[in-house]
């Protein structure tokens, strides 16, 4: 298969990846064969916590003293200016590390001023807050606008995941067989029913996976897949290593369990690449993972770690390790 044919096919698969979400949203609760029903309404469950956290992150900056905020902005601008000089001077890995660390510290400063919101992780709310900020500035931010902006972001994440998966498969699998992986990714929401039936958990996972629930999984999957693509396609490149580290650190802020994937990729990087690439990867990752560390006491760290019917060993336990990896393909 030619490169142009491969790209056109992957573009078609990316379109098919977002089509189910569009169909469900247009149906707005009406029953369709093969699709779970979803009716637009007020935020509930994790969506409520994520939306509250996005608004809280925007508001948090007003809690900082003007002196501290001004100083932080000046430091950030200085770091960005230095990063540009490093980039133009062909020291691009160092530039990415500097931006990752400076940006991570700056964002962590805002996270430090946040209160409890009910969200377990803050990565998705921070990303969601970016298009919400202009609406907040002009005083027209409401959940209706926030919902559709959030859905657009998550659909874009699903498109990115398809392309990143295709790039990985193109490198590892010969010919047309490289299309199998992105095609399975597109088909997976429908294969869920064959794997585990049609219960509420599967339907919830379906809506979570394609985007309408506004959960963090599409962003989490996109970040991890992009990091894997960078690590595989440009294994010995310090610049790619730095980008991969920064992306993985952010993925931990989006979903805490991504820490296991981040650690695994780091060890593979250490064992399979140059020392320079591994150091750039680690430093850039530390920069963005500071966001997750700062939010911990306001997220999962604030939840009561008591046994329950859903979590018989508390929220976090090694007892869940095997079951989580076994069942994670569905929920």
> In a structure prediction context, what are the per-residue pLDDT tens digits for the chain, which is 331 residues long?
788 889 999 999 999 999 988 888 888 867 777 677 777 888 888 899 999 999 999 999 999 999 999 999 999 999 999 999 999 999 999 999 999 999 999 999 999 999 999 899 999 999 999 999 999 999 999 999 999 999 999 999 999 999 999 999 999 998 889 999 999 988 887 777 676 655 555 567 778 888 889 999 999 999 999 999 999 999 889 999 999 999 999 999 999 989 999 999 999 999 988 999 999 999 999 999 999 999 999 988 777 666 666 667 776 677 777 777 666 554 4
Which tokens in the block code for residue 92? 């691009």
- For 317-329, b where at least 16 C-beta lie within 10 A, e where not — what string? eeebeeeeeeeee
Q: In what helix (H) or strand (E) does residue 251 lie, and over which residues does it extend?
A: helix 238-254
112/142 Cα distance (integer angstroms):
24
244 in Cβ contact with 231 (< 8 Å): yes
CA 73, 76, 78, 81 torsion: positive or negative? negative
* Per-residue pLDDT, 330: 47
Burial of 110 (0-12, 13-18, 19+ CB in 10 A): buried
Side-chain half-sphere exposure of 200, counting CA atoms within 13 A: 0
* Per-residue pLDDT, 190: 78
Nearest alpha-carbon partner for 100 in 293, 226, 289: 289
């Amino acid at each position: 298969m030619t490169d142009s044919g491969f790209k056109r096919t992957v573009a078609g698969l990316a379109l098919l990846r977002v089509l189910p979400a569009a169909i469900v949203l247009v149906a707005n609760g009406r029953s369709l064969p093969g699709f779970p029903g979803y009716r637009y309404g007020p935020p509930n469950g994790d969506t409520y916590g994520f939306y509250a956290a996005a608004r809280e992150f925007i508001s948090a900056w007003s809690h900082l003293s003007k002196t501290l905020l001004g100083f932080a902005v000046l430091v950030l601008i200085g770091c960005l200016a230095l990063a540009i000089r490093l980039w133009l001077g062909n020291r691009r890995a160092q530039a990415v590390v500097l931006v990752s660390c400076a940006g991570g510290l700056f964002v962590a400063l805002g996270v430090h001023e946040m209160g409890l919101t009910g969200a377990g992780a803050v990565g998705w709310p921070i990303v969601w807050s970016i298009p919400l900020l202009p609406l907040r500035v002009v005083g027209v931010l409401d959940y209706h606008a926030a919902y559709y902006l959030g859905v657009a972001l998550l659909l874009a994440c699903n498109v990115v995941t398809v392309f990143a998966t295709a790039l990985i498969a193109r490198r590892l699998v010969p010919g047309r067989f490289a299309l199998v992986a992105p095609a399975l990714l597109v088909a997976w929401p429908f294969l869920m029913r064959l794997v585990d039936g049609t219960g509420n958990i599967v339907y919830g996972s379906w809506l979570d996976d394609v985007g309408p629930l506004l959960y963090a999984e599409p962003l989490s999957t996109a970040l991890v897949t992009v990091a894997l693509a960078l690590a595989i396609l440009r294994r010995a490149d310090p610049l790619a290593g730095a980008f991969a580290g920064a992306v993985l650190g952010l993925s931990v802020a989006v979903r805490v369990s991504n820490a296991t994937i981040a650690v695994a990729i780091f060890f593979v990087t250490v064992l399979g690449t140059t020392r320079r690439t591994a150091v750039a990867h680690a430093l850039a990752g530390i920069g963005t993972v500071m966001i997750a560390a700062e939010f911990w006491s306001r997220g999962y760290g604030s939840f009561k770690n008591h046994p329950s019917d859903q979590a018989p060993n508390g929220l976090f336990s090694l007892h869940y390790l095997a079951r989580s990896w076994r069942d994670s393909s569905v929920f």
